């Protein structure tokens, strides 16, 4: 089964913010390459969504996974889709930012 991978508005904004931060510090080509690697990883959830760490304690179907030691990707696995909820860079409090009320 292939799942459809969708990005929440917050995840899209997270990617844009990350791109801008890296572009300001290390250049646009490096920023683009990094964001594209994140997007590729997220796209790979279509064939294997049950990876990472289950965070059912926060919300049903929620999973988190580390990406290249600096990013936490939070996603929710549904019946036929995966929703990327947040893409959090560095030491941000991922539990607080991915709760249903956040």
* Domain residue ranges in the chain: 4-97
pLDDT higher than threshold 60 for residue 8:
yes
pLDDT higher than threshold 90 for residue 7:
yes
The whole-angstrom separation of Cα 21 and Cα 32 is: 11
**Encoded tokens for 54:** 């289950």
Q: How many other CB atoms are there within 10 angstroms of residue 84's CB atom?
A: 24
- pLDDT by residue (tens digit) across 60-88? 889 999 999 899 999 999 999 999 999 99
Q: What pLDDT is recorded for position 51?
A: 94
Q: Which of 43, 42, 80, 44 is nearest to 61 (CA)?
A: 80
CATH number of the domain at 4-97, out of 2.60.110.10, 3.30.2310.20, 3.30.300.10, 3.40.50.1000?
Answer: 3.30.2310.20
The whole-angstrom separation of Cα 46 and Cα 1 is: 8
Per DSSP, the three-state class of 98 is coil
**pTM, entire model:** 0.86
Three-state DSSP string of 43-96: HHHHCCCCCCEECCCCCCCEEEEEECCCEEEEEEECCCEEEEEEEEECCCCHHH
């Amino acid at each position: 089964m292939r799942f459809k991978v969708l990005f929440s508005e917050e995840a899209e904004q997270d990617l844009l913010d990350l791109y801008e931060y890296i572009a300001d510090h290390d250049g646009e080509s490096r920023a683009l390459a990094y964001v594209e690697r994140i997007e590729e990883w997220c796209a790979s959830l279509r064939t294997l969504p049950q990876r990472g760490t289950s965070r059912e304690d926060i919300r049903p179907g929620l999973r988190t996974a580390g990406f290249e030691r600096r990013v936490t990707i939070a996603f929710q696995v549904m019946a036929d889709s995966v929703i990327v909820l947040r893409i959090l860079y560095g030491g941000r409090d991922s539990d607080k930012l991915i709760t249903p009320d956040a």
